Structure 1
C-alpha cells in the first residue's frame, strides 16, 4: 500500500491524466530516490511511474533518435548504421500473419526507412517524384498520373525489433543504455535480463506476465501500458481461452498470442471500448524519459501510439 503522504502526492499528479473504462492511472512516485522506490513500489509490489523524465538523460535517448523535418520522430540512421552487421531479433506481422526472424540491424533500418517513405508530388501531369520504398501504381481511367500519391495505401507488413537483449549489442550501444541504479540496488543487485523494443507506430505487445520485476523505460515516442493484478489478469486469460475454446498455458506463451483467434480475443478484452465488464486494472501513458515499474506476476499489454518511431528498453531484476 502507498503511504498516506505519497498517495496524496501521486493522486494530485495524476489528476491531469484520467483513464477510460474504469482503469486507474498508475501513481507517480514523489521522487526517484531508492528508498522511495523500495517503500512505495518494489516492496509492496505495486505498479508505479517514476517522476516524469527521470531517464531522459540516457545516452540512447539523445543518440538513437532524431526529429524529422515534418516533426515525426525517426531513427538516427547514420549513427545506428555503424553497427549494421549486428544480428537482432525481429517480429514481422502482416494482417493476421506473424513470424520471428533474426536479421542484421542494417536490414531493420532499411525496413523502417521503406515503411516511412512517401511520395513527394511535383507539379507534373504524368509523374510525381518517387521516394525509395514506395510502389509504382498503374495509370487508371480516374487518373492521368502514372505514379499517383492518392492511390498509395500504407504497407501492411510491420517490422518490430523486439526483445533484443542488451548484452548482445556492441559495446557502444550497450554503453548508451547503462543499467539504472534502481535496478542494481533495489533487489538483489543483479539483472536477470534486458531487452530493447524499437518500431514504427503503432506497435503492439499482447497481454502477458513476467517472472521477474520489470523496469520499463520509454526512450522515444509514446506507449500506453495496461496492467492487471495477477488474479485479474489470470481471469482475463481464462475468459479468452474459454471464448476461443483454447487450451494455452498462462506460463508458456508462444506465437499463438501474436496471431489468430487468441490475439484478437486478448486485444478485445484488454483494449476494446466495447468491454463493459468493469476490469480491475491500471493504465500508464509513457513518453520519452518516463519509467514504469511492473511488479512480478502482473499482467500487462503495451501499445505504441502516434506517428513515427517508438523505442523502449526494460530491465528484469531479482
Structure 2
C-alpha cells in the first residue's frame, strides 16, 4: 500500500503519460539518498524510480554507446572490439523460433553491424545454425560485407546479448559498471548476481519474477517495464497456463516462455492494451541514466522500444 508521502511523489514527480487498464506510473523518489531509498522503496518492497538521470555518470554509457545522427544510439564498436574474444550469452529469435548460444563478443558486434542489411540467397550452413533463417555471403578482397545488400529478403532474425554476468567480463568492462552505493549499503551489502542486456530495438523479456531485489539501470535507448505484485503476477501466469492448457512452473522458467503458445499468450496478457483482464500493476519508461527498483518476487516484463541500440544493466542484491 502506498504511503501518503509516496502518493504525493506519484502525483508531483511522475511522467505525464497515462497507462491503461489499471497500470499506474511507478512512483519517482524525491531524491537518491540511501535513507529515502530504504524508507520509500526497499523496506516497503514497492517499485520505485530513482530521480531521472541518477546513473548518467556510469562510465559504460559514453564508452559502450555512441549517439547516431538520427537521434538513435549505436554501439561504440571501436571500444568494444578490444574485448572481442570475450564469450557472451546470446538469445537468437527468428519469428517463432528461439535459441540460446554462447559466442564471442566480436560475433555479436558483427551481427549488430549486419542487422540493417539484407540477405544473399546463398545459404551458409555455419551461420544459419546460429541465426535461424539467415543467409550470409563470403568476404572477398573487395568487400567485407557480412550480408549481401543486393538481395531483397529483409532480415528477420534478432540477436540479443542477454543476461551476461558482469563478473564474466574483462576487468576493464567490469570497471565501466561499478556497483551503485545503494546496492552495496541498503541490504546485506553483497550482490547476488548482475547482468548486462544489449540489443537492437525492439527487444523483449517476457513476464517473470526474481528471487532477489533488483536495481535495473538503462544505459542506452528506451525500455518500458510493466510490473505486477506477487499475487497479481501469479494470477496472470495462472490465466495464461489455463488459456494454453499448460502446466509450467512459475518458479522454474525455461525457453517455453520465449516461443510458441506461452510466449504469445504471456505477451498478449501483459502488453495488449485491449485485453480486458482486470490487471492491476505499474508501468515505467526508462531512458539513458534512469534506474528502477524491482522488489523481490514482483513480476515484470520489459520491452525495448524505438530504434537503434538499447542497453541495460541490473544488479540483484540480498
TM-score, structure 1 length as denominator?
Answer: 0.89
Q: C-alpha offsets along residues 258-310 of structure 1, whole Å, 9 cap, x if unaligned?
A: 00000000000000122112211100000000000000000000000000000
Which residue does the alignment assign to 2:283?
A: 283
> Which of 123, 135, 143 is 2:148 aligned to?
135
Which residue does the alignment assign to 2:63?
A: 63
1:253 and 1:268, CA in 2 relative to 1: closer, same or farther beyond 3 A? same
In 1, distance between residues paired with 2:2 and 2:272? 30
In 2, distance between residues paired with 1:15 and 1:163? 28
Decide whether the 8 Å contact of 2:223 with 2:303 is kept in 1. Answer: yes
In 2, distance between residues paired with 1:22 and 1:175? 40
- Unpaired runs of 5+ residues, structure 2, are 120-142
In 2, distance between residues paired with 1:172 and 1:118? 34
In 1, distance between residues paired with 2:218 and 2:114? 24
In 2, distance between residues paired with 1:47 and 1:210? 13
Aligned counterparts, 1:84-103, within 5 A: 84-103=84-103
Aligned counterparts, 1:66-215, within 5 A: 66-117=66-117, 132-135=145-148, 137=150, 151=152, 153=154, 155-215=155-215
Q: How many residues align?
A: 295
Give the aligned CA root-mean-square deviation in angstroms.
Answer: 1.7
Q: C-alpha offsets along residues 75-113 of structure 1, whole Å, 9 cap, x if unaligned?
A: 000000000000000000001110000000000000000
2:276 matches 1:263: no
Q: C-alpha offsets along residues 169-195 of structure 1, whole Å, 9 cap, x if unaligned?
A: 000000000000000000000000000
Decide whether the 8 Å contact of 1:164 with 1:196 is kept in 2. Answer: yes
Which residue does the alignment assign to 2:28?
A: 28
SS of the aligned residue for 2:307 comes to coil
Q: C-alpha offsets along residues 30-76 of structure 1, whole Å, 9 cap, x if unaligned?
A: 00000000000000000000000000000001110001233321000
Which residue does the alignment assign to 2:51?
A: 51
Decide whether the 8 Å contact of 2:49 with 2:293 is kept in 1. Answer: yes
SS of the aligned residue for 1:16 comes to coil
Decide whether the 8 Å contact of 1:2 with 1:40 is kept in 2. Answer: no
TM-score, structure 2 length as denominator?
Answer: 0.89
Decide whether the 8 Å contact of 2:216 with 2:294 is kept in 1. Answer: yes
Q: C-alpha offsets along residues 145-191 of structure 1, whole Å, 9 cap, x if unaligned?
A: xx6xxx453x1100000000000000000000000000000000000
- Unpaired runs of 5+ residues, structure 1, are 120-129, 138-146
Decide whether the 8 Å contact of 1:98 with 1:258 is kept in 2. Answer: yes
Which residue does the alignment assign to 2:127?
A: none
Larger radius of gyration: 1
In 2, distance between residues paired with 1:176 and 1:71? 24
